[in-house]
Amino acid sequence: MPKFGYENMHFEWTNIWVLAFVLLIPLVYWLIPSMRQVTSALVFPSFKRAVTISGIHPRKKSKITKKNLPQWFMLFLIYCCILLGAAGPKFVGKPEKKIKTARSFLITADMSFSMNNKDWVVGDQRKTRWHAVQELMTTFISGRKSDRMGLVLFATHPYLQAPLTEDLNAVTFMLNDAEVGMAGQMTGIGDAIGYSMKVFEADTTKEKVILLLTDGVDSGRGTNPLDAAAVAKKDSIKIYTLGIGDPTGKDKIDEKTMKYIAHSTGGEYFRAMDAKELRNAYEALDKLEPIKYESTTLKPEVLLYYYPIIAAITLACLLVFSLNILTLIKSNKNE
């Protein structure tokens, strides 16, 4: 028997009322009459004369066979095994909520050279913006268990780092494998949004969300970010924007554009000047796009009906075999 972790399961019957049919056995045994076998008689010409002389009056009679108790016992076991199988024995585990893939969530992250600035402090250690984003985003991704996640990285040009998948560990691995400068030096926000929408083209999930993360201003060489946001709105794609760094500093963020992209598509804009604010932004995003579960629950079951059915078939074969052997022995004795 395969191992299914029965220690966390309990025994149940699917149709326990079927076992009540066992009460028919004594009724069948006592109410059905014994089988009568008509035997042939020897008739000869002087039969009536022999009857007169002997004084014995002939009468019609049948041979009544006796009930074979071993045979009845085997039939009783077979019948009980069939009832046990029909009653549906099974092991049932505790109900579990089945996580449903509710939305497709695409992270579109800036990989331009400015993300290599070592001006963030995480756990008393000074790190680059990108390394801080990697650490905190890993925790964020691991909590999105009801979403299909994907990863698009962009700078001068966008590219797909991880396709949409339910394997969150794979997305995390691909995120941590990326390094600043892989996609160029400049910041093409409009092209990144347009490319992210293409990733969604073959996706059938109704809810589509983009988290656009950047620390700079669009380079102006490709698609206009506002035009890309308008197309995303038509395609019912919600965009949340996350600005990294100080909007008044050297590498300032175009907050006006980021807010417009978010609000025009039904999303929100977050600003993170340090690791703490970035963590707060992820927590706020979790509340805005909560994990969704199916309304129904999943009960792990291990069906056991085939064990009594196999036993019934085995006993039936043994009964037929034993009857054939007895018939053969009787025929040999008669010879």
pLDDT given for residue 193 in this prediction: 93
Average pLDDT for 98-118: 80
Please give the pLDDT value at position 171.
92
Q: Do 238 and 265 touch, CB atoms closer than 8 A?
A: yes
Q: What residues contact residue 222 under an 8 Å CB cut-off, 6+ apart? A: 188, 190, 191, 194
> For residues 37 and 242, which has the higher predicted lDDT (pLDDT)?
242
pLDDT digits (tens, 9 = 90+) for 118-163: 877 777 778 888 888 888 888 888 888 778 899 999 988 899 999 9
Say how far residue 76 (Cα) sits from the centre of its chain.
41
Least Cα distance to 132 among 141, 123, 142 occurs for: 123
How high is the pLDDT of residue 4? 46
pLDDT digits 0-9 by tens, 249-258: 666 788 889 9
pTM of the predicted model, to two decimals? 0.59
Mean local confidence (pLDDT), 316-328: 85
pLDDT at position 261 is: 93
Residue recorded with tokens 């016992």: 73
